[in-house]
Amino acid sequence: MDFRIADTFTDSLARLTGDEQKAGKTTAFDLQIDPANPGMQFHKLDKANDRNFWSVRVSGDLRLIVHRSTTSLLLCYVDHHDSAYRWAERRKLETHPKTGAAQLVELRETVRKIAVEKYVEAEGPAVPKRALFVNASDDELLGFGVPAEWLGLEFKAVAIMACDDEVIPLQARIDAVGDEADLEDVFDTERHLLYVGCTRARDHLLITSVDPSSEFLDDF
C-alpha cells in the first residue's frame, strides 16, 4: 500500500502540545508499519463528502484523519475529535486533471443576498465592462491549480485581504521545508492559491496589504 503524508497533517501536528505531538507521531508510525493492524481503530466518517475519509483514534480525544483506498493511505489531519471531524466534512481529495497532483479541496457554502435593482433609462448606450482574466483559458486556469469543478464559478466582487510579506507565502511553511525542491513547491502552491482567488472576480477585485506586501503582487 502506498503511504503518504500531506502538508496539512504536518501543519496540524505542529499546533498540538508536546505530548499530543508524540502520540500523533506514534500512531502515524504504526500506520506506516502496518495499516491493517487490528489494533488500529478506524471509524468511517459518514458526514464527509469524500467517502474515503476515515478517523483513527490516537489517544483520548485526539483523532487522526486519513484518506484510505485499496491502494493508498494518506495522512491528512490530526486534532481533537470535533475539530478533526469538522475539517474532514469540509474537504475532499481530488486529482488535478492537468498536473495529476492530488489536491485536498475545501468545500464552502455560499450565501448570496439578492437585491432588487431599480433600472433607469440611460442617456447613452452602456459600455460593457471587461471581465477580469477574460483572456485566461480553462487550460491556463487549470495550470494555476484551480480545481476543475471551480471553472466557471465567479462573483461580482472579490476581496483578498492581508496579502502581506510573510503571509503570502506563509513564512511558517517556508521555514519548515527541507530542500530547494520543497521550497519551490511551497511558492508555487501559495502563488496558485492567490491566483485562484483573483480569477473568481467578474467585475471588481480588491487586494489589500501592508508594507511590505507579498512579492506575488508584483505579478499584477
User: Quick one: 21 exposed, middle or buried, by C-beta within 10 A (0-12, 13-18, 19+)?
Assistant: middle
Residue where the block lists cell 487490528: 38
The pLDDT of residue 146 is 65
Rounded to whole angstroms, how far apart are CA atoms 122 and 43? 62
Rounded to whole angstroms, how far apart are CA atoms 7 and 200? 25
- Domains observed in the chain: 2-106 (3.30.2310.20), 138-219 (3.30.160.800)
Span 1-51, pLDDT tens digits:
788 999 999 999 999 999 999 999 999 999 998 888 878 889 999 888 889
Span 38-85, pLDDT tens digits:
788 899 998 888 899 999 999 889 999 999 988 889 999 999 999 999
pLDDT category, 200, cuts 50, 70, 90?
confident
Cβ atoms of residues 7 and 75 within 8 Å: no
Span 89-113, pLDDT tens digits:
988 888 777 777 777 777 665 555 5
Q: Which of 65, 86, 68 is nearest to 76 (CA)?
A: 65
